[in-house]
Amino acid sequence: MQASVGAHVSLRSVISWTFFPGLLLSSLVATVGLLAAGYSPSVIVMGVIGCAALPILLLQRWMPFEIDWRMRPGGAMVDMLHMVTTGLTGDLWRALTFAGLYALAAWLATHVGATLWPTEWPVLLQLALALIIGDFGAYWVHRGCHTLPFFWRFHAMHHSSERLYVFSSGRNHPGNVIMAYGSQVLPCILLGAGNEVFALLSVFTAVHGMLQHCNVDLRHGALNWVFATADLHRWHHSADISESNTNFGSNLILWDIVFGTRSLPDGRPDELGLGDLRMPENFIAHLMSPLLLAKWEVEADAGQ
């Protein structure tokens, strides 16, 4: 009996330390292999992301970080609707962005004499560069969403969940998706990055986003100084504004370190969400949140 308990604890420990890097790396390797086999990048991206979600969902049941953060039927339905609409909005924005800006990238290549992107580098090194460049734009847009009232109207809905689990990563207003995605990919498009890089960037961002929000008891150790892990991101979702105005990185924590906004206290936040502001758990209300947020703030103040 003691041996089986010890093996169980040991297996949990191994998984808690290896799952984050292992899932990211295996997702990237699968994407590279499928691209080399000639499959459509769009199909690859959707397939790899879907496969990556399955083990995360299983681990949320088996080894949750917080029991009280498990999915509840009502909230899960709202979040799954967000996952679907966020995906559709992302695909539409991706199509519009690529159509308009590949022409500009081609013009730049013609006049500069060559693409500015280091296409001769190994593809994983190109991905690392795309992550660094993309996260710089995403960092400032995300930080602006917390400091500029107009942009906060579109971003607040992402913070309305009072627990973190894998589907809460999709709780995003379409306007917030456009800002976040655009700030991440436009610099890379203008510099001339290829479709292979964008497929890898899309897979990395989606899988990392699920890991960043998942309710799994993971250990990240030194990786907390490289990636914007769940350990860091939980503090970004704190209901205490002094705690949530930190850790703005999307994939990497690099720019938070550079600009002094990285924060990793001991433990976890006492409360997640929007504090005294109670946003309805209603999909239509969430879509209308940029127009209704001031009303909810007034009602919250009146109820104090």
* Structural domain boundaries in the chain: 2-302
**Secondary structure (3-state) at 238:** strand
| Cβ-contact 236, 244 below 8 angstroms | yes
| Cβ-contact 273, 161 below 8 angstroms | yes
Question: Which residue did the predictor score with more confidence, 273 or 168?
Answer: 273
Q: Has residue 194 got a pLDDT over 90?
A: no
For residue 66, the tally of other CB atoms under 10 A from its CB is 15
Name the token pair of 144. 């602006």
| Cβ-contact 63, 17 below 8 angstroms | no
Q: State the Cα–Cα distance between residues 170 and 61, nearest whole angstrom.
A: 19
44-96 tens-digit pLDDT: 888 998 899 999 999 998 999 998 877 665 556 777 777 666 655 555 555 55
Q: State the Cα–Cα distance between residues 202 and 46, nearest whole angstrom.
A: 9
* Rounded average pLDDT over 225-243: 95
pLDDT of residue 220: 96
- The share of the chain scoring above pLDDT 90, in percent, equals 48
Q: State the Cα–Cα distance between residues 300 and 161, nearest whole angstrom.
A: 16
pLDDT of residue 109: 54
Mean pLDDT of the chain: 84
* pLDDT band of 30, cuts 50, 70, 90: very high
* pLDDT band of 289, cuts 50, 70, 90: confident
* pLDDT band of 223, cuts 50, 70, 90: very high
pLDDT of residue 215: 94
Amino acid symbol at 179:
M
| Cβ-contact 250, 135 below 8 angstroms | yes
Q: State the Cα–Cα distance between residues 114 and 178, nearest whole angstrom.
A: 29
